[in-house]
Amino acid sequence: MSKILSMKTTFFIALTCILSVCYGQRNPAYEPVRKDLMQWDSIRGGWIYEAVLSIQTKQPVPDRTFPEDLTPVELFSLAPERDRESLQSTLSGMNQSDAFTQLMSTLVNATYCSANQGRSYGDPHIVTFDNTSYSFQTVGEFILTKVGDYFEVQARQKPQRDDFSLNTAVAINLYGDRIAYYAEDVPDGSNSPLWLNGKPIRLEGRTYYLPCGGSIRLIGRNYIVSGPLGEKVIIDNRGSANRGFVNLTVNYPSCNIQQVSGLLGNANRNRQDEFQVNQINQTTNLTGFIGMNSPEFASLSQDVEQRYQNEIIKDFAEIHRVTQERSLFDYRPGLTTSFYTDRSFPRIIRTFNSIPNTNRDAARNRCQQMGVSEAEMNGCIFDAYYLDLNPNPIPTPPPATEGVILNKLRHPMVNSNTIAPSKFPENEAQPLPTKPIDSTSKPSEYEPVTKPSTEPVKPAINFKVPEPKAPNVSKPISEPKPIKTPPASPAPKSPPASVPSKGKG
């Protein structure tokens, strides 16, 4: 008897939960939004509505019911302008403090506004969202950017010799999904560099749908990680037989009014305040910012540039260093972020202004021929001279909406990672099983290949070189064309990693 009552109770609880979910999906306060989306497209619009509700409640979005491999914002960017304006007007009359309203407004606005773009490339150099740049030859794991509570990008920098480091891994939080790419030190020692929520995945020719509404595409050697509301990280795999590293391009809609922090700056269109050190640590003497792409930078003496770089390493790096509690990376058993941290690095500080003019001119010509922008020119020259890195202009993969035409659908069709539309039966993206590793293996320690410099560190100085305020250089996003995504090639494989090392000789 008690067993029967228990079964009835369980059934009642389950039924209550189902009804609660259904009621939540038909919240009367959100009904005008649902009607606007359904009037545009009953199948695609209905999915966007359910997807944003799922994001708000931190639940996986429902499977796509249409053939296009698009995120919610990519899909709605193809809607006629009158439909987007109608929804925008509806949202303006709703409670602006409501989480669903905020998320849906961000989605709609992102179909109109330009993108903020930041970069971490080479050995490495940073280009901020406000389009100024600096060198950041440090070792450890750092927050590249954090936008509100939904979007964060972290980079792991490993030493190459005693004077340079490279980005060897990146980890991303995208609305609750944790995506990571390991050009070196794959956590399970396998040759599967791409991980999702703690497990390796493989892309085989088509878009991989993230549980929380984003996607991952592979075009050439670039992994494009797209968020549901317009965020994007391009992971440019620059690995070779001698070294594995990545260049990173980060975009997010400029109309996203969330607070922005990290190595890529605060995105307030002011180049002068990228280093907020003084507001956090009153003991530092860093009171100004000299961008690597500014006219003043080229006139700095080698001595001043070296001291300036030392200030960045000593103070600014610590503010944005990843703690174990905040880390988005996966680690081998027994390892933490501290294993990849070396505060004594760089042991030798190289400078742009010590490069001979003849070598500088030759490198500049090489970088210009490869299409490197002026914002990244000095960094490209620096990399070419000191590490012989090939020039790497900003990747410009075609948008996911290119060639997509939204034909009217008569009925929903299943489109998931394991069940694709009939036109793509062979192109599936499947999770990979995790390869067990030897938890008793010990990682090797990094040993410098040259002796640390004996030159004493000179005292910090104030930098108050005025720099003209730069205009907003973000380019507006053009109206997307109705288009189809080209199939992606198989993912490049990283060489098997036996044991992580702290650096390379």
In tens digits, what is the pLDDT along the chain, a chain of 505 residues?
Answer: 444 445 444 444 443 443 344 434 568 899 999 999 999 999 999 999 999 999 999 999 999 999 999 999 999 999 999 999 999 999 999 999 999 999 999 999 999 999 999 999 988 989 999 888 888 889 999 999 999 999 999 999 999 888 889 999 999 999 999 999 999 999 999 989 999 999 999 887 679 999 999 999 999 889 999 999 999 999 999 876 567 899 999 999 998 878 899 999 888 887 767 665 444 344 444 445 677 777 777 777 777 787 777 777 777 888 899 999 999 999 999 999 999 999 988 888 888 888 898 998 999 999 999 999 888 888 899 888 888 888 888 999 999 999 999 999 999 998 998 876 644 444 444 444 444 444 334 444 444 333 334 343 333 333 333 344 444 434 343 433 333 334 443 444 444 445 577 765 4
Contact 43, 413 (CB under 8 A): no
Supply the pLDDT for residue 167: 96
| pLDDT confidence of residue 21 | 40
**3-state secondary structure labels for all residues of 406-447:** CCCCCCCCCECCCCCCCCCCCCCCCECCCCCCCCCCCCECCC
Structure tokens at 326: 């905040």
What's the token pair of residue 438? 């030897």
For residue 15, the model assigns a pLDDT of 38
What pLDDT, on the 0 to 100 scale, is given for residue 103? Answer: 95
Handedness of CA 66, 214, 246, 252 (dihedral sign): positive
pLDDT of 221 reads 87
β partners of residue 115: 253
Q: Tell me, what's the pLDDT at 468?
A: 41
Question: Do you find a cis peptide bond into 346, omega within 30 degrees of 0?
Answer: yes
Confidence at residue 367, expressed as pLDDT on a 0 to 100 scale: 92
What pTM value is reported for the model?
0.79
How high is the pLDDT of residue 205?
Answer: 67
The closest alpha carbon to 183, from 139, 247, 119, 262, belongs to 247
Q: How many CB atoms lie within 10 A of CB 494?
A: 21
For residue 438, what pLDDT is reported?
Answer: 44
Q: Coil, helix or strand for 139?
A: coil
- Residue pair 253/109 in contact (Cβ under 8 Å)? The answer is yes
Tell me how far the alpha carbon of residue 255 is from its chain's centroid.
Answer: 18
Q: Which H or E run contains 17?
A: helix 2-25
The pLDDT assigned to 503 comes to 67
